[in-house]
Amino acid sequence: MDKATDTGVFFTRARHNKPIRVPLHNRDTGEKTEHWVDIIGPDSDAIRLSVRLRQTEKIEQWRDLVAGGVKQESRRAKEWFAQSEIEDDRARAGAAIVGWSLDDATLPDGAKCGKCEPGNVAKVLEEAPSIQDSVIRALGDRSLFTVSVSASSADTQKPNSASTSPSKEEPKPSENAPPATGSKPETSPRS
């Protein structure tokens, strides 16, 4: 291997800013559904910013709790920490999702999920923890986003939903992204 190839593995930002498609599975049966989300990788600009903003929020919240007399060992502090971990995952998953097939899906309150926009994504993740879990698992597998970027144009397809991916090409399904259940992974990285 030459030195250029050796160091190329470190330059992941551009590849992580390109979405991959993660199929969604029925949480009860593990069966793949017709639905999917497009996500960007953990080294993407949006996720890195989201993580840093969330860390800043947590520091401010913790300072407020301590200033209010909450002791670190108290039940209230432990509950706050547990809830903040859930919110961390929701913020990461929300920043990662850049497209979906859920425009016409119905939320428990009867409203449609709508276009893949931050407010709608937040509502869906709150009501569908299995989607959040699938996204977080996929984000944990950096190899989904960092495989070779040399694919032919024949490997891409045109989008089939009006509000999905920010790019004109549809993200390629990933063969390895984890499903919502423990069943076999079925997504592949976008190259």
DSSP letters spanning the chain: --HHHHHHTT--HHHHTS-EEEEEE-TTT--EEEEEEEE--TTSHHHHHHHHHHHHHHHHHHHHHHHTT--TTSHHHHHHHHHHHHHHHHHHHHHHEEEES-TT-B-TTS-B--SS-HHHHHHHHHH-HHHHHHHHHHHT-GGGTSS-----GGG-B--SSTTS-SSSSBPPBPSSPPPSSSS--------
pLDDT at residue 187 above 90? no
Q: State mean pLDDT over 48-54.
A: 94
With 50 as the cut, is the pLDDT of residue 190 above it?
no
**What is the pLDDT, as a whole number, of residue 116?**
97
Higher pLDDT, 176 or 99: 99
pLDDT digits (tens, 9 = 90+) for 125-177: 999 999 999 999 999 999 998 764 433 322 333 333 333 334 444 555 555 45
Go through 130-148 and write b for each residue having 16 or more CB atoms within 10 A of its CB, e for each that does not. ebbbbbbbbbebeebbbbe
Q: How far is CA 30 from the centre of its chain?
A: 19
Q: In whole angstroms, what separates CA 171 from the centre of its chain?
A: 14
| pLDDT higher than 80, residue 42 | yes
Q: State residue 40's pLDDT score.
A: 97
Residue with tokens 């879990």: 133
Q: Which residue has the higher pLDDT, 132 or 73?
A: 132
The model carries a pTM of 0.73
Contact 2, 165 (CB under 8 A): no
**In the numeric block, which tokens belong to residue 71?**
């002791």
Q: Where are the domains of the chain?
A: 3-155
Whole-number average pLDDT of the chain: 80
**Overall average pLDDT of the 85-112 stretch:** 95
